[in-house]
Amino acid sequence: MQAKILLLDKNHPLIDEQLLKQGFVLDEDFSSSYDEVLKKINDYDGIIIRSRIPIDANFLNRAKNLKFIARVGAGMENIDCETAKALNIELINSPEGNRDSVAEHVLGMLLILMNRLFIASNEVKNGIWLREENRGDELMGKTFGIIGYGNMGKAVAKRLSGFGVEVIFYDILPNLSDEFATQVSLDELQKRADILSLHIPLTELTHYIIDENFINKMEKDFYFVNTARGKNLKTSALVEALKSRKVKAAALDVLEYEKSSFENLDVENDDLKYLLNSDNVIVTPHIAGWTHQSKEKLAQFIVDKILKLYNS
């Protein structure tokens, strides 16, 4: 008998179509609370999730028959990965599915920001015609620094290959340099980068990796881009750096104040208000990996990996 799988979030219908065709038994539950799911999780061999319900140690220890957890996306911070591995539960994600969307979003936000396109467009629509005040800043000739050279970081570097920039990156894994970017130490990145873009998971090591100390070590005034996780950045440190012009401008697709489900904001405070009202900041609602194409690709990679797990 094939595995019984519980789907806890809505995803592309190809997941249901292809897994049912292969004989898997699927149940959908997009509304039950954590406690309600806990009561029945022992009945399932696998779960497919996004971010609605946290998969913590209590959940995993109750899931006696669970063989795999598949997250439709890249980040795994809503899963207690150490406990899952200790219980021999396979962890599956699909960062390959939205890397292209993230890379294009990074370039889109950065070009809008550096060329003041959003500001200038709104001014013209309101009858204001300013040219000198809206001079842009070219990417050409700048050094683009990436932290994290996995699927997302590599996709960004590849997109930059035609822009005449030098791409350098820092990663905790060694020997990752390729035709698109050169690996350097963190100190060298902080010395040379004109632009800084984050492409890292959220872990104990990367929580608030960008704080006052990090920003102060950046030798140049720089542009900052974050499409990774909101809590990789200490927002108050960014606000102070924007006020002092150490950070020239920021493009943020993720915020420290997001709910764990990424569906809305948890708090409202002065730092958030500053970001939302600053001409030097672009904010989008966690949609960098959220294209029509990525929705399908994310789902397809998940299906392929589940089938590989059961056919290996």
Q: How far apart are CA 86 and CA 102, in angstroms?
A: 32
Overall residue count recorded for the chain in this entry: 312
In a 10 Å sphere around its CB, with 0-12 CB exposed, 13-18 middle and 19+ buried, how is residue 268 labelled? exposed
Residue 258 among the catalytic residues: yes
Residue 256 among the catalytic residues: no
Residue 105 among the catalytic residues: no
CB of 253 closer than 8 Å to CB of 286: yes
Residue among 129, 126, 60 at smallest CA distance from 89: 60
CA distances from 83 to 13, 60, 76, 77, 168 (A): 30, 7, 13, 13, 35
Q: Which of the residues 132, 258, 292, 296 is marked catalytic?
A: 258
Residue found by looking up tokens 């467009």 in the block: 121
Residue found by looking up tokens 């608030």 in the block: 208
Continuous segment of H or E residues that includes residue 34: helix 34-40
Q: How far apart are CA 90 and CA 2, in angstroms?
A: 16
Residue among 100, 102, 80 at smallest CA distance from 91: 80
Q: Which of the residues 71, 116, 199, 286 is marked catalytic?
A: 286
Answer positive or negative: Cα dihedral of 169, 175, 180, 183. positive
Q: Which residues pair with 197 in a beta bridge?
A: 146, 225
Q: Which of the residues 133, 229, 245, 256 is marked catalytic?
A: 229
Token pair belonging to 256 = 């420290």
Which residues are known catalytic residues? 229, 258, 286
